[in-house]
Amino acid sequence: MPTRPDAPTEQARGSRVRRRSLLTGLLATPLAAVAGPAQAEEAPRVAVARRPRRKPREVTLYAADLPDGAGWGFGLEPGEPTVPGPTLEMVEGETLRVTVVNQATTTVSLHVHGVDYDIDSDGTPMNGGTVAPGAERTYVWRSHAPHRRRDRTWASGSAGYWHYHDHSVGSDHGTMGVQKGLYGALVVRRPGDPLPDQQIVCVFADVIVNGMPAGQAPTFHSRLGDRVEWIMITHGELFHTFHLHGHRWADNRTGLVQDARDESRLLDTRVTGPADSFGFQVIAGERVGPGAWMYHCHVQHHSDFGMAGHWHIADEGHPHH
């Protein structure tokens, strides 16, 4: 869940962010509509991702300085950077053209994990993929569905929880850019994947969360019964153990158990290291109810240093703020 660095009240509140069609470009249909006739009456009304668009989609990210020299961030509007940056989405088989307009006072770049791109979209100084102040550059990302190769071996698809980040600020590896806010989430879905009501992006970087000062991890807000998608990304030098109180997810691509025969291991804790990313969907408060549920790093001294925050789940009968 990105927050405006220049709005401390908003950060403290951890404002609610819904899926936006501008970002996802995903055609959605209720799950009941794609079920068989005998199942349609019983199937829950859950929106799912449909087939990808044939034409490439266009997205513009604006790189800008954060207030008071705190670093840099990406945003969807000029002069409105967020940390983390906007969450971008694709469906397997889709192409995304991401134009970075650099309004920052330093050269930046855009490197992505998990999808396909040509060498000129690698986003590194080594391959000339940087963007000077005042300039712009378009990076082309492609995704693909599972398929058989010509040698009859199986190639997996692009679906997963990935991320993008700078690869040039401070060094050829973007060490300072990553430390100071130039990163965001990328979700690649498979047609038929359930779409969430809300997304929460949580980034562990050394001993801070989402670029906030140590000990000031953001508070996230949801409503009881909402389908909430957590996207977890790790940057920095340290390994962490992400733990979410009161909720569990499956150890697979989506974090969802597919059916009664699915024996995917259930987790409520996962070890994560630099450049790792994963995600999952849960029903907020399912079987445990509303309240202030903690999320934190379970490396004890990391929690003591302030890597702990709250996920406030409000009863659906009460107004949400």
| pLDDT level of residue 51 (50, 70, 90 thresholds) | confident
For residues 22 and 56, which has the higher predicted lDDT (pLDDT)? 56
Closest among 129, 234, 232, 110 to 177, alpha carbons compared: 110
Looking at the chain, the whole-number percentage of residues with pLDDT higher than 90 is 80
Q: Within a domain: residue 49? A: yes
- Same domain, residue pair 166 and 225: no
3-state secondary structure of 186: strand
CATH number at residue 310: 2.60.40.420
How many contiguous H segments (helices) and E segments (strands) does the chain have?
5, 25
Structural domain that includes position 272: 196-321
Q: Within a domain: residue 17? A: no
Q: Are 180 and 171 in contact (CB under 8 A)?
A: no
Rg of the Cα atoms in the chain = 19
Distance from C-alpha of 104 to C-alpha of 132, rounded to nearest angstrom:
9
- Overall average pLDDT of the 46-58 stretch: 91
- Same domain, residue pair 233 and 166: no
Task: Give pLDDT, residue 1.
Answer: 53
- Same domain, residue pair 171 and 311: no
Residues 217-258 have pLDDT tens digits of 999 999 999 999 999 999 999 999 999 999 999 999 999 999
What is the rounded (10 degree) CA torsion for 145, 228, 18, 45?
Answer: 70
- Same domain, residue pair 124 and 262: no
